[in-house]
């Protein structure tokens, strides 16, 4: 092997790669307390189910999350809670950069597009029927 890159550094880079998409950061955020069901993630993130599943696959292959079946549904957990520390640190960094640059640009107003895109598997935010959200109702 030509490259003298320590295995740890390679692995750290792979982890960072798995964290390098907003949807995956949001997913990990949702897994904080007690994990989350896939249907919950699709409801909260407002993305198509297939897309959520694809991002979950990335997180699985990076060994950042675990998946267990519970009958018809699947619940995901973070494998090592330390990954949430990294997520937090990234968010801290992001906020500090925003403050430093006084960037008040926003990407809002996209919620309206939810109504326009009546696509197939897309679900609306806030209407989750996953076991956990159900028992809280």
Partner DNA sequence: AAACTCTATTCGTGAATCGGAATAAGGTTG
Partner DNA sequence: CAACCTTATTCCGATTCACGAATAGAGTTT
Contacts of 38 (CB under 8 A, 6+ apart): 49, 52, 53, 56, 73, 74, 75, 76
Could you tell which of DNA, a second copy, none binds residue 35, using a CB distance below 5 to 8 A set by kind? none
Strand pairing report for 65-70 and 36-37:
unpaired
Residues that bind DNA (CB under 7 A): 2, 17, 20-21, 23, 37-39, 42, 47-51, 53-58, 67, 69, 71-74, 119-121, 129-130
Minimum CB–partner distance for residue 71 and DNA (Å): 4
Q: Is 30 strand, coil or helix? A: helix
Minimum CB–partner distance for residue 56 and DNA (Å): 5
Minimum CB–partner distance for residue 48 and a second copy (Å): 11
- What does the alpha-carbon distance between residue 125 and residue 5 come to, in Å, rounded to a whole number? 43
Of the pair 21, 129, the CB lying nearest a second copy is at 21
């Amino acid at each position: 092997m030509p490259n003298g890159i320590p295995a740890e550094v390679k692995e750290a880079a792979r982890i960072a790669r798995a964290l390098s998409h907003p949807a995956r950061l949001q997913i990990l955020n949702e897994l904080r307390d007690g994990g989350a069901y896939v249907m919950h993630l699709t409801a909260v993130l407002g993305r198509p189910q297939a897309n959520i599943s694809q991002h979950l696959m990335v997180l699985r292959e990076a060994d950042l999350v675990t998946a267990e079946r519970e009958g018809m549904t699947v619940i995901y957990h973070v494998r090592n809670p330390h990954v949430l520390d990294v997520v937090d640190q990234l968010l801290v960094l992001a906020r500090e950069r925003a403050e430093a640059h006084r960037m008040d640009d926003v990407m809002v107003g996209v919620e309206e597009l939810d109504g326009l895109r009546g696509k197939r598997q897309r679900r609306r935010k806030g209407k989750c029927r996953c076991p956990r959200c159900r028992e809280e109702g």
